[in-house]
Amino acid sequence: MSSALSIEHLTCSYNGQDILKDLSISVEKNEIVCLLGASGCGKTTLLKAIAGLLPLTSGEMTLNHKVICDQKTWLPPEKRNIGMIFQDYALFPHLTVSENIAFGLRDWDKKQAQAKVKDMLALVHLGAFGDRYPHQLSGGQQQRVAIARALACEPDLLLLDEPFSNIDTQVRHDLIKEIRRIFKAQGVTAIFVTHSREEAFAFSDKLAVMNHGIIEQFGCATDLYYQPSSKFVADFLGGGSYVPALVESDNTVTTPIGSAPFTLDSVYPPGMNVELLLRPQNVTVMSDEGGSGTIIEQQFMGDNCRYMMDIAGHVLAVTSSEALTVGQKVRVQIEPHTPVLFAS
């Protein structure tokens, strides 16, 4: 695959404070990348910098191998061929759906523009809604109009800022699936911002987890979830518990729960004290009056229950299809898996 957007050593400052710090990332063509992080981590600042709405302190950006910003070059937003979709859709209330989609096609031949609008309406399944106004549409329909308007201009890159945050929970999942299908069918390269890991997992091809202006880790969702590079990434992407552990050999770790067989990386030599990350799916619990664990909290999750368990003075988050009660004794077993260890 060839790179569509390349960012190298980007720094953005405001009032003398670095908001983005020596940040580098590469987005491939037809790839959907999520900037994931808590409020204030810099993800929206990065989106605006890519769009050309903020100046760079240093660094370089290229789009389809063309420099759009460096120490000598700065293309204004309207010259970058980058589309942007906002959280509030930013539709023109006095224009119809068709007129909104056609807004960026004013320089096109009239017949070509009309044909393009018709194609976009069909693409987002709004063929019968062209004469309606934004206030006559649901939130999900308005978002699809915003998508159609952005795609009509055939951008090289599409930026989305919290695109699903105003969508009702009941329709959000279907909308995410539908828009992802549209992007893939159209060969769209996109970057979107969210603070929701569920949206990130469902919509993106790759995640960039951001923290205080830097990218902590970038890659496929499964890689980041199962092999986080830091506790910050591990905690942000999913619930888990840390237990002290001792590396006994290159294939065994001993914990207060017991020993577990692993294939370890050589950076963890025998005798090293570490912390072992255990996600709920890494641990199996079974009711056992002679067990060493005690259920101290439960939370019903629908298809299973999540429990907090105390074992040897350590609290673990676990799931179980078996109905357990607070105060119940349980037996605990660590399932074979690739370990995630952090130096103590």
Task: Judge residue 97's burial from the number of C-beta atoms within 10 Å of its C-beta, 0-12 exposed, 13-18 middle, 19 or more buried.
Answer: buried
φ and ψ at residue 44, rounded to 5 degrees: -70, -35
Q: Are residues 129 and 257 in the same domain?
A: no
Rg (CA), the chain: 24
Calculate mean pLDDT across residues 252-269.
76
Inform me whether the pLDDT recorded for 14 exceeds 70.
yes
Which residue stretches of the chain are H helix?
Answer: 43-51, 97-102, 110-123, 139-152, 169-186, 197-203, 221-226, 231-237
Give the DSSP H/E element, type plus range, for residue 107: none
Has residue 103 got a pLDDT over 90? yes
Structure tokens given for 46: 């990065």
pLDDT at res. 336: 81
Q: Which two tokens stand for residue 63?
A: 């789009």
Contacting residues for 174 by C-beta, under 8 A, at least 6 apart:
none
Q: How confident is the model at residue 264 (pLDDT cuts 50, 70, 90)?
A: low
d(CA 124, CA 185): 12
Residue 2: band (very low, low, confident or very high) from pLDDT cuts 50, 70, 90: confident
Query: 165 pLDDT exceeds 80?
Result: yes
Which of 210, 236, 262 delimits the end of a domain? 236
Between 87 and 227, the more confident residue is 227
Q: Quick one: pLDDT at residue 1?
A: 54
Residue that terminates a domain, selected from 178, 209, 236: 236
Number of domains in the chain: 2
> What are 169's two structure tokens?
């929970």
pLDDT tier at 251, thresholds 50, 70, 90? confident
Whether 185 is in a domain gets the answer yes
Give the CATH number for residue 27.
Answer: 3.40.50.300
Instruction: State whether 186 and 322 are in the same domain.
Output: no
Contact 191, 161 (CB under 8 A): no
Give the pLDDT score at 293.
92
pLDDT of residue 171: 84
On whether both 122 and 221 belong to a single domain, the answer is: yes
Does the residue 342 lie in any domain?
A: no
Binned at pLDDT 50, 70 and 90, residue 170 comes out as: confident
pLDDT at 269: 82
Q: Residues of the chain with pLDDT > 70: what percent?
A: 98
Q: Higher-confidence residue: 267 or 246?
A: 246
Answer whether residue 88 is part of any domain.
yes
Query: In CATH, what number is assigned to the domain containing residue 272?
Result: 2.40.50.140
pLDDT for residue 311 is more than 80: yes
Band (265; pLDDT cuts 50, 70, 90): low
- What average pLDDT is seen over the chain? 90
* Mean pLDDT for the stretch of residues 134-140: 93
Query: In this structure, are residues 140 and 165 in contact, taking their beta carbons and an 8 Å threshold?
Result: no
Would the pTM of this model clear 0.95, i.e. be above it? no
Residue 266: predicted pLDDT: 61
Q: Indicate if the alpha-carbon torsion angle 19, 24, 28, 31 is positive or negative.
A: negative
Does some domain include residue 47?
A: yes
Q: Same domain, yes or no, for 76 and 174?
A: yes
Q: How far apart are CA 215 and CA 24, in angstroms?
A: 8
Residue 68: name the closest of 19, 20, 10 by CA: 10
Residue type, 72: K
Quick one: pLDDT at residue 168?
83
- CB-based contacts of 283, cutoff 8 Å, min separation 6: 257, 316, 318, 332, 333, 334, 335
Identify the domain boundary among 236, 270, 289: 236
Answer for the pair 307, 295: CB distance below 8 angstroms, yes or no.
Answer: yes
d(CA 245, CA 342): 10
291 within 8 A of 330, measured Cβ to Cβ: yes
Q: Domain range for residue 330?
A: 239-336
* Residues 215, 238: Cα–Cα separation, whole Å: 18
Query: Based on the domain organization, do 185 and 296 belong to the same domain?
Result: no
Same domain assignment for residues 116 and 256: no
User: Residues 47-79: pLDDT tens digits?
Assistant: 999 999 998 999 999 999 999 999 899 999 999
